[in-house]
Structure 1
Amino acid sequence: MRKNILLVINPISGAIDKSEFIDAALLFSAKRNKSIMVFSTTGEDDISKIKTLYNKHKFERIIIAGGDGTIKMVAEAVENKDVILGILPAGSANGLAMDLDLVVTLEENMAIAFGDSYAEIDIITINGERCLHLSDIGLNAELIKNYEKSSVRGKWGYVLQVFNTLIDMEGLFTATIAANNQKTACVARMIVIANAKKYGTGVVINPSGVMNDGKFELVILKNLDLMIFAQIISGNMPINSEDIEVISTDSATITIASPVPLQIDGEYFGATTQLDIKILPRQIKVATL
């Protein structure tokens, strides 16, 4: 029997049991006479395995129960393929789901994930790595690095690492941004590379963000003090801060005087001194309201 739907489960994301997600997806697909295959990620060669499954079965839809990192992985596996991705938010921070207004009940998210409405969204490449949502260099990337080293998962793990990150916080860094045929020098605590508007906390870091406009924004937080960083984490940051500058473009190069931490869609990618960034318009289809 042909498998119509692939359900990708990240068993460790968000530190929550995924059996409820599996049972709900099986029931939902059965009511629609759809056959479903369940794939659990292991962290070992998952992209290649998903590619192989897709090439064999040509799924009409892939449902993802995980966080931003799991969605990013599946998107890379099926980029430019004629398949719709349905999202069941199940991560520690569900930033993309927050931007798509999907952080509601499981029943509601299931109906959206299996529904007929979808959007084609852009993908950003950063030094060759794909980004669907938000990436950054500086303070928040340092937080992600500390979180990945910690044994405490879920939202409480993030809260714990906020304190550790602030205690060990490095100074400002100097960067030169080449974009829109101009060069901009700045001193910053953090630079966000944004395809969307919101972090998983719900804070609007990039109010002009549109995920299918062929552009991304560089949000430069120049004098990010402890209070503003706490507001980012808690979801209460004011969007009109005088210490924020935004550059909208379709390509950019960022050169940093000394190595700073980089995170892409919630995954730490080490320290870097240069970012080559460009937009890839309308690369994937995502089920929406």
Structure 2
Amino acid sequence: MNSSRKYLFVVNPISGDLDKSDMIQSVQAAAKDRNIEIHVFETDGKNDETQIRDWYDANKPERVLVAGGDGTIKMVAETLEDCDVIFGLIPAGSANGLSVDLEFPTDFEAVIDIAFDGKPKAIDMVCINNIKSIHLSDLGLNASLVKNYEQSSIRGKIGYALQSINTLKEEGEPFNVRIEANGGIIESEARMVVVANSQKYGTGVVINPMGKLDDGKFEIVLLKTLDLILFGKIITGNMPLDTGEIEIISTDKATITTNVPIHFQVDGEYCGEESKLDVYMLPGQMKIAHPLPAE
């Protein structure tokens, strides 16, 4: 193909338990239609970052398309964090929180068109204990769910639903948390503390109605209780913000300390137990091809 335009297409072949062969063929056909040379790189968890970076440095593609879940997107974004590149997202994970928040269409052909032709939108990232988060991270109940989900054999939203029930059943006592932000201190019992750069989990559940991916702020969502009734309200989109059960703090820097180590996850990947999180904003960290005109 006689083309000076090059794209890199990073595919996680096991994300979401989906076969990616048809997806790869569709993307290759879309590239051919646009006279774009596209290189397909399938991740295998072995030295992916180095291989992606080496190919990028040698070829300088205009865009990097990523097919996978939020964890795959985050890995590629971190690998190319100092590069001036536009990322095209092709959601293909068990839960695709970032694309849900960006209001991507469900039609696959429309998603491909956005990845190739969408205008770039700069979005923020959050740094938590030197780990970068694009979307949502948390301590407590949901991180326990992520841990259980990773250890289960049932994938997708059904797997999440089953593990939600199991996690609620096995959850122990609430923990004590201290949040230092905006020059003040909040101390409380908690079931879950969310560091939210956006609004929704990949399942579509709104946990942070204030969230915007490009406002230079993140929110700390403090859930003081989380019984079956409150959990039901949250998953049906009825966040009870007018009660004392949930508190939301908007900031660009915070320290979160717990009295005991608590399960912790970043963008859907379990990261072990933590008792202290140092959190700060990374504004305008990556450019994503967006379904709406860039502001």
TM value normalised by structure 2: 0.94
Q: What's the counterpart of residue 88 of structure 1?
A: 90
Q: What's the counterpart of residue 174 of structure 1?
A: 176
Q: What's the counterpart of residue 60 of structure 2?
A: 58
Cα deviation, residue 78, structure 1: 1.0
- Residue pair 1:145, 1:268 contacting (<8 A) in 2 also: yes
Cα deviation, residue 46, structure 1: 1.6
- Residue pair 2:192, 2:223 contacting (<8 A) in 1 also: yes
Q: What's the counterpart of residue 220 of structure 1?
A: 222
| 1:144-202: CA deviation from partner (whole Å, max 9, x where unpaired) | 00111112222222122122212211221101011111111111110110000111121
| 1:84-131: CA deviation from partner (whole Å, max 9, x where unpaired) | 101111111010000001141110101111114121011100100010
**For residues 199 and 15 of structure 1, what CA distance do their matches in structure 2 show?**
19
Cα deviation, residue 253, structure 1: 0.5
**For residues 3 and 41 of structure 1, what CA distance do their matches in structure 2 show?**
23
1:181-196 superposed matches below 5 A: 181-196=183-198
**For residues 249 and 71 of structure 1, what CA distance do their matches in structure 2 show?**
24
SS of residue in 2 equivalent to 1:209? coil
1:268-283 superposed matches below 5 A: 268-283=270-285
Q: What's the counterpart of residue 284 of structure 1?
A: 286
SS of residue in 2 equivalent to 1:27? helix
Q: What's the counterpart of residue 46 of structure 1?
A: 48
Q: What's the counterpart of residue 239 of structure 2?
A: 238
Structure 1, unaligned runs of 5 or more = none
SS of residue in 2 equivalent to 1:75? helix
**For residues 96 and 268 of structure 1, what CA distance do their matches in structure 2 show?**
17
Moved more, 1-10 or 132-141: 1-10
CA gap of 1:235–1:38, structure 2 versus 1, over 3 A, is farther
> Sequence identity of aligned pairs in percent?
49
1:108-147 superposed matches below 5 A: 108-147=110-149
Structure 2, unaligned runs of 5 or more = none
**For residues 253 and 57 of structure 2, what CA distance do their matches in structure 1 show?**
32
- Residue pair 2:5, 2:35 contacting (<8 A) in 1 also: no
Which one-letter code corresponds to 1:134 in the other structure? L
SS of residue in 2 equivalent to 1:114? helix
CA gap of 1:53–1:237, structure 2 versus 1, over 3 A, is farther
**For residues 165 and 106 of structure 1, what CA distance do their matches in structure 2 show?**
33
SS of residue in 1 equivalent to 2:113? helix
RMSD: 1.4
- Residue pair 1:203, 1:237 contacting (<8 A) in 2 also: no
Which one-letter code corresponds to 1:145 in the other structure? K
SS of residue in 1 equivalent to 2:117? coil
Which one-letter code corresponds to 2:237 in the other structure? N
CA gap of 1:130–1:151, structure 2 versus 1, over 3 A, is same
Q: Does 1:155 align with 2:181?
A: no
| 1:214-256: CA deviation from partner (whole Å, max 9, x where unpaired) | 1100011111112322444x44342535111011111100010
**For residues 132 and 140 of structure 2, what CA distance do their matches in structure 1 show?**
19
Moved more, 234-243 or 167-176: 234-243
- Residue pair 1:4, 1:34 contacting (<8 A) in 2 also: yes
Cα deviation, residue 203, structure 1: 1.8
May I ask how many residue pairs the two structures share in their alignment? Answer: 288
1:256-267 superposed matches below 5 A: 256-267=258-269
TM value normalised by structure 1: 0.96
